[in-house]
């Protein structure tokens, strides 16, 4: 059964001044999930913040958006809908957001992670364009976030029954029977 949209990270935040660069939260889904929105912490928004979702093993950008103060606010984060992206359980990903000097910078005093997500750490860089950061840091400067749904996968028995039913359906409805005028008497 699919869960409703839930927020991956719920930090307790402290204002920490301004900074520039990319903040990246690395994570591994414990189950298959579908990322539906990318977001950025409510930081004052003098300009938009680019937010991206990366596959860490390939450094591939899977989705991105620019979050602004006119995006949808939910629990201290602004979010934009994206074309849903399926993430595989056990693979590592990162949600990354650009930090600009004009906006407030927040550190996470504590971090609550959704039960379907394993937090792998925080990394940053000082680049001004969106990229996958690679400098580990102990105290997370919080910015990016995402919302997701758990992907429900049918049990193998259910899948086998559905396939068998689909294969037998033509026989049941007579698609493969010979027409009445062509049958032997």
Give the per-residue pLDDT at 44.
Answer: 74
Residue 159 in this model has a pLDDT that exceeds 60: no
- Average pLDDT of the segment spanning 137-143: 75
Give the per-residue pLDDT at 12.
Answer: 63
CA neighbor of 124 nearest in space, from 111, 110, 114, 134: 134
pLDDT in tens, 69-114: 899 998 888 999 999 999 999 999 999 999 877 666 666 667 788 8
| Architecture per CATH, 6-154 | Sandwich (2.60)
What distance in Å separates the CA atoms of residue 21 and residue 19, rounded to the nearest whole number?
A: 7
Query: What are the residue ranges spanned by the domains of the chain?
Result: 6-154
**Would you give the DSSP letter of residue 182?**
G
This prediction has a pTM of 0.76
pLDDT in tens, 1-51: 333 356 776 766 565 566 788 989 999 999 999 999 999 988 777 778 999
């Amino acid at each position: 059964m699919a869960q409703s949209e839930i927020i991956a990270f719920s930090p307790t935040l402290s204002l920490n001044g301004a900074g520039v660069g990319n903040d990246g939260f690395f994570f591994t889904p414990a189950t298959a999930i579908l990322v539906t929105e990318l977001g950025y912490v409510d930081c004052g928004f003098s300009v938009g913040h680019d937010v991206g979702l990366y596959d860490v093993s390939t450094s591939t950008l899977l989705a991105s958006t620019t979050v602004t103060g006119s995006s949808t606010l939910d629990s201290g984060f602004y979010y934009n809908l994206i074309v849903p992206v399926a993430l595989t359980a056990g693979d590592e990903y990162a949600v990354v957001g650009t930090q600009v000097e004009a906006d407030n910078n927040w550190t996470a005093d504590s971090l609550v992670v959704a039960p379907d997500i394993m937090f792998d750490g925080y990394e940053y860089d000082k680049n001004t364009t969106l990229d996958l950061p690679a400098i580990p840091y102990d105290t997370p400067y919080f910015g990016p976030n995402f919302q997701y749904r758990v992907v429900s996968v049918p049990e193998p028995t259910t899948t086998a029954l559905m396939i068998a039913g689909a294969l037998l359906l033509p026989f049941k409805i007579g698609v493969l029977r010979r027409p009445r005028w062509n049958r032997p008497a």
